[in-house]
Amino acid sequence: MIYKVIGEVLIFIGSLFLLLASIGIIRMPDVYNRMQAGTKATTLGALSIIMGVGIYHPQYFFKTLIISLFILLTNPVSSHSLARASHNFGIPLTKGSVLDRYAEDKEKGFKEEENDS
Amino acid sequence: MSSLLIIVFAFVSMATLLSLVRLIIGPTISDRAVALDTSTTITTAMIVLFSQIFHRAIFLDVALVYAVLAFLGVVALARYLEGGV
């Protein structure tokens, strides 16, 4: 029963990553840093738990593969749209941050539009 | 229910509690949206763990539908924050 051991180890690693992600959500100083901690680590943790259940029960493997593919596709999309929305909403970066490429790009784009017209 | 599953459920429920704390105390509305996104992903993993405990395959369908609805909700919330088209 080697696959049951592999499934249990994957489930344990996934729960550890979920706990680390929510500790990052509490500890980080900024919306964007919290988004970084709260979406990447959560994606890895949820994928690990779901594939662990699929390996532990081999008759569930196809459904867990579909769920994990869906999470892998849609979680970056939702985090990207949240980051773009909060940047356009005007939420400032934290004090120690040194670079904001998106604001520079927006400024440059607006200037080019003005020059064209 | 083995002892490893009890430890796993302790970790996952502590993660849900911490993200709920951020959902309550978050200074801006964007913090609350991020905490909601994290909480929905943790809940999807938790529903899959229920099918591990009760040996029922029906919870996997529930988890798939919950993932679809949570994604739509977060994207709609983001579009509402952006305020437009």
- Yes or no, beta carbons of A31 and B57 under 8 Å apart: no
Report the C-alpha gap between B3 and A18 in whole angstroms.
19
Q: Note whether B75 contacts A77, CB cutoff 8 Å.
A: yes
A33 inside 8 A of chain B by CB: no
Average pLDDT over residues B21-40: 90
Question: Could you tell me if A48 and A68 are in contact, meaning their C-beta atoms sit under 8 angstroms apart?
Answer: no
Any chain B CB within 8 A of the CB of A44?
Answer: no
Query: What mean pLDDT comes out for the span B6-14?
Result: 93
Distance between first and last Cα of chain B = 49
Consecutive 10-residue averages of pLDDT for chain A (117 residues): 90 94 90 88 93 92 92 91 87 82 80 58
Are B49 and A11 an interchain contact pair (Cβ–Cβ within 8 Å)?
A: yes
pLDDT value for A102: 81
Contact list, B7 vs chain A (CB under 8 Å)? 12, 15
- How close is the nearest chain B Cα to the Cα of A96, in Å? 18
Which of A25, A64, A71 is the closest to B60 by Cβ?
A: A64
Of A19, A63, A86, which has the smallest distance from its Cβ to B30's Cβ?
A: A86
How high is the pLDDT of residue B26? Answer: 78
Residue-level pLDDT at B84:
62
Of A14, A63, A66, the CB nearest to B45: A14
Helix intervals (H) in A28-117: 31-56, 61-89, 101-116
Alpha-carbon distance values, A72 to A16, A50, A75 (Å): 19, 11, 6
Going A32 to B75 to A43 to B63, the CA torsion angle's sign is positive
* Residue whose C-alpha is closest to residue A35's, from A86, A73, A72, A70: A86
Q: Does the model's ipTM exceed the 0.85 cut?
A: yes
pLDDT at A51: 93
In this predicted structure, the answer to whether residue B75 has a pLDDT above a threshold of 70 is yes
pLDDT over threshold 80, residue B3? yes
Does B78 have pLDDT greater than 80? yes
Give the model's pLDDT for residue A110. Answer: 67
List the one residue out of A30, A18, A31 whose CA is nearest residue A82: A31
Q: Is pLDDT of B85 > 70?
A: no
Is 70 exceeded by the pLDDT of residue B82? yes
| Model pTM score | 0.88
